[in-house]
A and B are shown apart, each in its own frame.
Chain A
Amino acid sequence: MATFFGEVLSVYSRAVEEEDREDEDENEEDVEIRRELEEKRTVHLKWCPEVSQEKLLCSHLIIAAGTNAAGFVSTFILNPARWHPVGWMALWNERNKGSGVLNSPPAPGEPGCVIYQQKEGGAVLICQCTCYVAEDQLFQWTEKLFAGLQKRGLTVTVLSDAPIAEYKTADYLHGRDIPFLCALKTSAYKEVVNSPFLDQPNIVTGLPAAVLCHCEVHGIPAVLYQNYSDVISADSVTMEAYKPALTSTKSVKLEPPSTAILQKFTRGFDVHDNLYT
């Protein structure tokens, strides 16, 4: 396809294939392999042994998807004195391999989806997701997560990272404060939204989209804050940009982050990225 400036870009066809695959030719072995693969890709919601009840009571669910969103909740909210992990989403896919992913919770620092609960009160849950969830697993991921919660007046807040390069605007972005937040909300969400709305033709895909779709269809109030940033790795400025998203929420209190935690999150990337160290 040719663009405005005439350069030719190779684009893949959204029509998937030249012709529908003739899967009528498939033999028993193919069916068996396909079935096993499907089984392996199933997403499981696992509770820690100390969680007694089958479904957790939840009035506010915060989902943080991406490195910076996860870093934000870790540094500003998840104080170990007040929060403890209660479960995790176990899933296997081409970018999230390993024999242990299905049976044990992800080790600290490893990519994964961990659910935290507030020690006092306990009706606020935070799901921190740093691992890759494949396109075919997204729907299941949300179904499984919401099936594991007792929804009583549930509100959902989704925080998600996005590269600024994906943001479409007619105005040149120069001079605009980067990073910035854009919001989307479901029709059931009636509270104040603390950032401008995401304007057309911008869209959101991936895990945040799957969660919002689920909430819209099931009438759950939900809001998504998409953080457009020009830094790919964990970075304290990008993390701070999430602050307005939760400032008016009564259920969680933002704490000033300790320098040690911030450093732990951001340092790991600097060392490898610098050519001269």
Chain B
Amino acid sequence: MFVSTDESPPSFKSYTLLMPAVSVGNVGQLAVDLIISTLQLPKVGHFHTDSLIPMVGNNPYATSAENANDLSTNAEVYCSKDLKLAVLQIRTPIIQTRIRQFRKNIVSWIKSSGFSKTVILSSSHAYQRDDQQLQGTPLRYLLTPALQKEAGQRIQELEWREMEKVSTFPGISDSEQKLYIPGGGVTKGLYTDCCDEDIRMAVVLIFCSEGDNIPDAFALGNYLNDWLHLLGKPAQGSPQWNMPPSWKLLFGNGIPPAIF
């Protein structure tokens, strides 16, 4: 459930909600980090739930000594009034037995807050791309029927590629096709829930492998920015993202000088 940090909870009516799916390489979460850190979004509340593993740390987006020691928790909500944007950052995996519960909580929060649309940033295993998915860009999208009416046109102009369905029985029959997002965590579940509940929702995802996923996060951020225009883009090249200080030491400690 959403708990506001202020006495008066903010209104998210007609806001866009951005959230990551905890998925392969944590690309969605990294991209959300980039967005919060670049736009310097203020924190407005927590998503307090028993479905996520608890975690705390200091402010991952610290800009000065004053705000460096603000506590951050496993799921927090940031928001920008000017952009009409709310961003939910999830920092820990979902407890396996409570995945359904988590989906339910998210869907009911989306419904009760009145978001105009929800965008899920996600990723999928690159090694599971099939023949038709292998060519071209690794970036894909999905729209629920409710959002298709509104955003379909714009997405077509961008020449985005929809996530291809794959055969249920590959090599035997191609007649039955299904949506398959391996390594995508709750992505597919949330997408189907939103389709059923007639919620305006989009999935934006990238095929990737585990490793240094920072370039994937940039790619996903740029891709999303082409659609939502969160960040001004120079005529040539990509927008200037700001890496949060919490990204340092992603590959462990500094090198001990004694080894040289």
Q: Count how many chain B residues have C-beta atoms less than 8 Å from C-beta atoms of the other chain.
A: 61
Report the 10 A-B pairs with minimum CB-CB distance, sorted nearest first. Answer: A139-B50, A203-B57, A210-B54, A209-B54, A15-B185, A170-B254, A200-B246, A15-B23, A212-B56, A209-B56
Instruction: Please tell me if B71 contacts chain A, counting CB pairs below 8 Å.
Output: yes
Least CB distance, A140 to chain B, in whole angstroms? 7
Query: Is B258 interfacial (CB-CB < 8 Å)?
Result: yes
Kindly list chain A residues whose C-beta atoms are within 8 Å of the C-beta of B230.
none
- Whether A206 lies near B54 (C-beta < 8 A) is yes
CB atoms of A203 and B100 under 8 A apart: no
B189 touches A4 (CB 8 A): no
What are 16 A-to-B residue pairs whose CB atoms are below 8 Å?
Answer: A1-B211, A4-B252, A15-B21, A19-B182, A20-B99, A20-B188, A136-B50, A136-B98, A185-B69, A187-B71, A200-B62, A200-B68, A206-B54, A209-B56, A213-B56, A217-B73
- Note all chain B residues with C-beta closer than 8 A to A11: 210
Q: B211 contacts A2, CB within 8 Å? A: yes
Chain A residues at the B interface, C-beta cutoff of 8 Å: 1-4, 11, 13-21, 23, 34, 38, 135-136, 138-140, 143, 168-174, 184-187, 197-206, 208-210, 212-213, 216-217, 224
Residues of A within 8 A of B245 (CB): 200
Q: Which secondary structure dominates where chain B touches chain A?
A: loop
Closest partner residue, chain B, to A140 (CB atom)? B50
State A136–B102 Cα separation when bound (angstroms). 13
Which B residues are within 8 Å of any A CB, using their own CB?
3, 5, 21-24, 26, 46, 48-50, 53-60, 62, 68-71, 73-74, 92-100, 125, 180-186, 188-189, 210-211, 245-258
* Cβ-defined contact, A15 with B71, below 8 A: no
Contact A14 B56 (CB under 8 A): no
- Chain A residues with CB under 8 Å of B188's CB are 19-20
Task: Choose one: A136, A202, A203, A208; the contact of B97 (CB below 8 Å).
Answer: A136
Beta-carbon contact of B58 and A200 below 8 Å: yes
Q: Is the CB of A200 within 8 A of B60?
A: yes
Most B CB atoms within 10 A — which of A136, A202, A206, A213?
A213
User: Nearest residue in A to B213 (C-beta to C-beta)?
Assistant: A1
Q: Tell me the complex Cα distance, A36–B96, Å.
A: 17
Name B71's contact: one of A16, A171, A172, A185 (CB within 8 Å): A185
In the complex, which residues of chain A have a beta carbon less than 8 angstroms from the beta carbon of B247?
201
Let me know if B211 and A213 touch, CB within 8 A.
no
Instruction: Name B258's contact: one of A2, A174, A184 (CB within 8 Å).
Output: A174
Q: Which residues of B contact A38 (CB under 8 A)?
A: 97
Tell whether, in the assembled complex, residue B258 and residue A138 are in contact, meaning their CB atoms are under 8 Å apart. Answer: no
Known contacts A15-B183, A172-B257, A202-B57; 14 additional CB pairs below 8 A are A3-B252, A14-B24, A18-B183, A19-B180, A19-B182, A20-B189, A34-B97, A38-B97, A138-B53, A186-B71, A201-B247, A209-B54, A213-B56, A217-B73
| Residue of B100, B180, B183, B255 with highest tally of chain A CB at under 10 A | B183
- B24 and A15 within 8 A (CB): yes
